[in-house]
Structure 1
């Protein structure tokens, strides 16, 4: 996935180059640094216990399980698509209520299939609200078809994310 141009003032920032937990921690740190003056909507992925991945709302702390228990011997996919869609609807409601930034944990397999958080991505774009996310490299073709040329790729660095945020505000000013 390349940048259409090196211009940081794109409405979507994709952070890439670190394991998922590190990127999600960066998203949390960035949202915290913005403080109460910036209304942040969205979800980050957390793993409070082994194999207990969940999405946590940045608005109210609600948690949405990523996986469901299917019982021993099951060979079906353990993703809890219903819970992720519920998280998506919560984010869409938060966007509709008004926000300055949307943080979406990632664009992955479900989003590539136009489910999961895909409607939250679309809602953020429709609201003309900046989006911070990550995209696994294997989903680059689908992501580019969805978001090009609206994104810039950033390294997993808090200063890079802050630079992207500042560039958006210079463009508006």
Structure 2
């Protein structure tokens, strides 16, 4: 896999569809004997929430990390728990070198600031591991600055991407 294709983005899907696509890809890769590291978003579709993800699940350990604050900080309406995302990232960093592929649920607000899962993106690329993710449209400019040569895939093309 060339450096240009080391990062794939699942696009043209709702957040729920993209999460389902990542879930299916992980299951398929694991069934084929691939070592998968990373985190998947678990939806918590409570009607009063602006964000649907409530947890990040570490693929390797199965551990769930809460990423939702019950009360948003006074300076924002965002309920994202940055500490939970940082803890999930720290837990998976050591798994990256032994993996065949790294799945990181999203490049969003925190990652656009170099926080959250951003260290895992950097570690995966430094280790030469392919990465698959989704991106927040609000942070597309920051994503494109970070990964200008990323491959953009529709969900059904993801399973064949790793083999290419």
Q: TM-score, normalised by structure 1?
A: 0.82
List gaps (5 residues or longer) in structure 2.
none
Q: Which has the higher contact order (CA 8 A, sep 6+)?
A: 1
SS in 2 for 1:53: strand
| Alpha-carbon distance between aligned partners in 2 of 1:49 and 1:13, rounded to the nearest angstrom | 26
Partner of 1:100: 100
More strand by share: 2
Q: Structure 1 runs of 4+ off > 6 angstroms?
A: none
Aligned length: 156
Deviation digits for residues 52-100 of structure 1, max 9, x if unmatched?
Answer: 61111111111111111228x966442110010000111212114x100
Deviates more, 1:81-90 or 1:51-60: 51-60
SS in 2 for 1:104: strand
In our comparison, the structure showing a higher alpha carbon Rg is 1
SS in 2 for 1:56: strand
Partner of 1:3: none
Mapping of 1:1-173 within 5 angstroms?
10-34=5-29, 35=31, 37-48=33-44, 50=46, 51=49, 53-70=54-71, 76=76, 77-96=78-97, 98-149=98-149, 151-157=150-156, 160-167=157-164
| Alpha-carbon distance between aligned partners in 2 of 1:59 and 1:115, rounded to the nearest angstrom | 21
Q: TM-score, normalised by structure 2?
A: 0.86
